[in-house]
Structure 1
Amino acid sequence: MFGQTTTPAPTERGLEDLDAAALAYAARIEGLPPERRQEARDDLVRFAMPFAGRLARRYRGRGEPLEDLEQVARLGLVNAVDRYDPERGSFTAYAAITIVGEIKRHFRDRTWGVHVPRRLRDLILEVGQATAALTSELSRAPTVAELAERLETPEPEILAALESAAGYSPASLNAPVGGESSAEFGDLVGESDNALESVDDRVTVSGLLGRLPWRERRILAMRFYGNQTQAEIAARFGISQMHVSRLLSRALTWLRQSMLADAPAPWQTGTVDAAPPRMRLVVHRSGDRVMLEVGGDIDKEGADQLRQALTDAVSTGHPAEVVVDLAHVATVEPGAAAALVAGREAALRAGIPLRLARPGPAVRASLGAAGLAARVPG
């Protein structure tokens, strides 16, 4: 009607006629407004549909339903038609590249059994290609260092890619173990947690410990968490070993009774507990070395003082080393360890070594919980 060339009908030589059909489509829509191009576009898409199907069938048998692959291929075909420019060459070649790329992206993004970041998925493909190339060159499997050198990528990232590659198709927990046994793979994973039954007791004891006076709490922590002897505890508190034994016995008896009762029994003591010993802090400067000698218990108030002392030590005179001597520290409250963390960060920013020296077992455990164990010499 308008003197335009129509898209050829499908023939047995569909692959050979695809370029001609695309050229006819380009001539047909030339000069037409966008709203009138839809019919010609649909004709070309229908004509090229078998071509997209053939490309999709190349990837069947790889764990994805053929129907899904055909849908992905058709989406790639539509994109190829919409972006087709006859001046850039063969439509058949362009459509094949676009469709195959869409199918590969589908495998990359949608078929992983475990979520893996896209950056890591791309690196996994590069590692696979580099492994094949190096295996051919070296006649053996390449090492992580060789892969890192070939890809110019740090070794930790290569290791992460190798470990994450198993996430593409993880083993099913319902997979049979094999042999005559009817057991499944999931039966071999995990074991009974014998400590699970003690969770209630641990939670109850944790709450009851907070009701004890500070001295009894610290003696229990030093004895059962710090693994210190009664003689060592007695020396820290300046009391006799027999007195430590009596305090431990009374505290443990109260804990047992309170755990069995509906409500904790009131703590009975014949004397008023002494106030917790305040933290002692002395700063020694010797040449380009600064030592902070700390003693007593590091509580919240003492933590603020220690944090300020550490900040001043690393920011004044740029010393060669800052040492925190913890030999005379009895305990470090959980929140107070943040002062040492802040001091470590300040020292790192200033480029000054910070060393935590001579911590006792209880203090070492508190530092380990705060992530400072690596900074403490063994």
Structure 2
Amino acid sequence: MTVSASTAPPQEESTQAAAPGPTANPNPTAPPAPEKRRGADTRALTQLLFTQLKELESGTAEHARVRGALIEANLPLVRYAAARFRSRNEPMEDVVQVGTIGLINAIDRFDPDRGVQFPTFAMPTVVGEIKRYFRDNVRTVHVPRRLHELWVQVNSATEDLTTTFGRSPTTAEIAERLRITEEEVLSCIEAGRSYHATSLEAAQEGDGLPGLLDRLGYEDPALDGVEHRDLVRHLLVQLPEREQRILLLRYYSNLTQSQISAELGVSQMHVSRLLARSFQRLRSANRIEA
């Protein structure tokens, strides 16, 4: 039995919402409201399924069938809980899937003999699973736990003050409401932005400008030499150890031939001949087109 989250609150609240007040149901003989009837049907079905589930052996096909029916019957509870997180701009299908995991955990742990209504028992588990998802998976940058918890308070205070003032509150007003500094408010707002990352290739909305990659990128002049350096590194190992050292001293340590000759204890002429021979070997081993 599937009900849209936007039209059906959780089961225990359905009864409260439809409970007759002084003017709610002037005709006591009128049929019950659809929401109340739907909630009562779901509670009755859930109770019946839990009674059956308790008598079945775990792992059997019948146990899996009844368990699946319980999940399906209580999906409106998950959608109601997921609707509380619409402001996070996360795909609602993903949030509902995560909340369904919490629902399944609640079903597996629920004991109908304890006298607690299942929606009352399951709601904290469903909401906790969704919050854990946002905390551990959604954020692009993980922020300190204290800052994350304070961001939740800042977000709530912002919504309350917006309703009170009829406009967006200032940083000072939020700080005064929560009795924290304006710097902490600004840090929380910055932390809240870590929920989303902007692609470097995404075009800027509205202004039609190219993405950040096109506007901030540049060509690294050293890129052309990467392939050649890798090739030279491969060829150097083919030279005798002394010639490798001479090349390293000359082109990596930037020593002159006279300094190399003093380092190795040989004549400068001999260093020059060894360098020329090394170049010849490298060129013959790999001919690079000009």
Shorter-chain TM-score: what band?
0.5 to 0.7
In structure 2, give the amino acid aligned to 1:129: E
Q: Does 1:84 align with 2:110?
A: yes
Q: Report 1 or 2 for greater relative contact order, CA contacts < 8 Å, sequence distance ≥ 6.
A: 2
Q: Does 1:249 align with 2:275?
A: no
2:88 aligns with 62
In structure 1, give the amino acid aligned to 2:114: E
Gaps of 5+ in 2: 1-31, 155-174, 185-189
Match of 2:221 among 174, 185, 194: 194
Q: Check conservation: 1:10, 1:47, Cα contact below 8 A.
A: no
Local SS of the residue matching 1:202:
helix
Distance 1:80 1:207, change over 3 A: closer
1:141 aligns with 183
In structure 2, give the amino acid aligned to 1:247: H
Displacement of 1:175 in angstroms is 1.8
Distance 1:97 1:210, change over 3 A: closer
Instruction: Give the Cα separation in 1 of the matches to 2:79 and 2:40.
Output: 16
1:48-71 Cα shifts (integer Å, max 9, x gaps): 443332222222353333334334
2:122 aligns with 95
Distance 1:248 1:179, change over 3 A: farther
Instruction: Give the Cα separation in 2 of the matches to 1:48 and 1:130.
Output: 32
Aligned runs of 1:8-87 on 2, under 5 Å?
12-13=35-36, 17=40, 21=44, 24-25=47-48, 28-29=51-52, 32-34=55-57, 48-85=74-111, 86-87=113-114
CA RMSD, aligned part only? 4.6
Distance 1:176 1:81, change over 3 A: same
Distance 1:137 1:211, change over 3 A: same
Aligned runs of 1:287-326 on 2, under 5 Å?
none
Greater strand proportion: 1
**How many residues end up aligned between the 2 structures?**
225
Q: Check conservation: 1:52, 1:73, Cα contact below 8 A.
A: yes
Q: TM-score, normalised by structure 2?
A: 0.55
Displacement of 1:172 in angstroms is 0.9
Instruction: Give the Cα separation in 2 of the matches to 1:202 and 1:28.
Output: 73
Aligned runs of 1:1-378 on 2, under 5 Å?
12-13=35-36, 17=40, 21=44, 24-25=47-48, 28-29=51-52, 32-34=55-57, 48-85=74-111, 86-87=113-114, 89-108=116-135, 111=138, 124-129=144-149, 136=178, 138-141=180-183, 168-177=195-204, 182-188=209-215, 190-239=217-266, 243-244=267-268, 246-261=269-284
Local SS of the residue matching 1:13:
helix
Q: TM-score, normalised by structure 1?
A: 0.44
1:112-131 Cα shifts (integer Å, max 9, x gaps): 56xx8xxxx5x744442257
Instruction: Give the Cα separation in 1 of the matches to 2:276 and 2:55.
Output: 94
Displacement of 1:183 in angstroms is 1.6
Gaps of 5+ in 1: 1-8, 143-161, 265-378
Distance 1:259 1:180, change over 3 A: farther
In structure 2, give the amino acid aligned to 1:233: I
1:10-31 Cα shifts (integer Å, max 9, x gaps): 9533697599648954894598
Local SS of the residue matching 2:262:
helix
Instruction: Give the Cα separation in 2 of the matches to 1:205 and 1:43.
Output: 67
Instruction: Give the Cα separation in 2 of the matches to 1:43 and 1:97.
Output: 21
Instruction: Give the Cα separation in 1 of the matches to 2:34 and 2:100.
Output: 19
Greater helix proportion: 2
Distance 1:15 1:79, change over 3 A: farther
Instruction: Give the Cα separation in 2 of the matches to 1:38 and 1:262.
Output: 69
Q: Check conservation: 1:223, 1:230, Cα contact below 8 A.
A: yes
